A and B are shown apart, each in its own frame.
Chain A
Amino acid sequence: QKEVEQDPGPLSVPEGAIVSLNCTYSNSAFQYFMWYRQYSRKGPELLMYTYSSGNKEDGRFTAQVDKSSKYISLFIRDSQPSDSATYLCAMSDRYGNKLVFGAGTILRVKS
C-alpha cells in the first residue's frame, strides 16, 4: 500500500464547475499538507499549504485536511481552462523535510 493515494484521473469538467481533488494517506505522523500544480514540462508550483487539520482558503482555492480520516481535499471554484494541469498532493511529518507525493490528478477544464 502506498503512503499517499491519489486518483490519477484524468478529471474532465466544464468551465465554471467546482472541482474536488482528494488524497488519502496512511501515515498518522504527517502534519504538513500541500497541494502543488504542475503544468506540462514545468516544475511543481506550490498552491496551498496547511498545517494539521482544518480549512484554508485562497481565492478560488480551498484546502481541507481531516486528520481523523486521513483525508485531504482541494476545491477549485469557478474553474477555468487555465486550471488545466496535474495537481499533486504532498505531505510530510513534523520535521517537514521529506515530502511524500501522491501520484497526481490530471485536470482538464473545457471551455
Chain B
Amino acid sequence: SAVISQKPSRDICQRGTSLTIQCQVDSQVTMMFWYRQQPGQSLTLIATANQGSEATYESGFVIDKFPISRPNLTFSTLTVSNMSPEDSSIYLCSVGADTQYFGPGTRLTVL
C-alpha cells in the first residue's frame, strides 16, 4: 500500500479565512480522493482528483468552497475557503482503485 502524508496535521483558523491542505503520496497514483469526517460522524467524499483534469465534486460540495489542485501524480491540495465553524472537521486524502488507503488526516478547528 502507498504511504500517504498530509500537512498540516492540525490547525486552528479564524472564521472567514482559508486553509490549504497538502497530500503527498510516495508513489504515482492516478486517482486521489478527498474526504471530510465531521465530529462523531463517518467519512463523506468531497471530490475525486485526477491529474491533468478538473476535480469531480460530490453533491453538496462546490469548487468555490473546496478548490482542489492536482499538479502531478504524487501530490494534491484541498483548500477550505471562507471558513465557518461548520467546516471544523477532519479532512482526509486517500488513494487507490477498488480499495483506498488513507492519509493520517488534517484536524481543522474554525473559531
Residues of A within 8 A of B (CB): 6, 32, 34, 36, 41-46, 49, 51, 88, 90, 92, 96-99, 101-104
In the complex, the answer to whether B103 meets A43 with C-beta atoms within 8 Å is yes
Which residue, B33, B98, B104, B105, has most C-beta atoms of chain A within 10 A? Answer: B98
In the complex, the answer to whether B43 meets A46 with C-beta atoms within 8 Å is no
Residues of B within 8 A of A97 (CB): 31, 33, 48, 97
Number of A-B contacts (CB under 8 A): 53
Residues of B within 8 A of A103 (CB): 41-42
Query: Number of residues in B with C-beta < 8 Å to the partner?
Result: 22
Which residue, B41, B42, B58, B103, has most C-beta atoms of chain A within 10 A? Answer: B42
Which residue, A43, A44, A51, A96, has most C-beta atoms of chain B within 10 A? Answer: A43
CB of B53 closer than 8 Å to a CB of A:
no
CB of B7 closer than 8 Å to a CB of A:
no
- Which positions 1-39 of chain B face chain A at CB distance < 8 Å? 1, 4, 31, 33
In the complex, the answer to whether B1 meets A98 with C-beta atoms within 8 Å is no
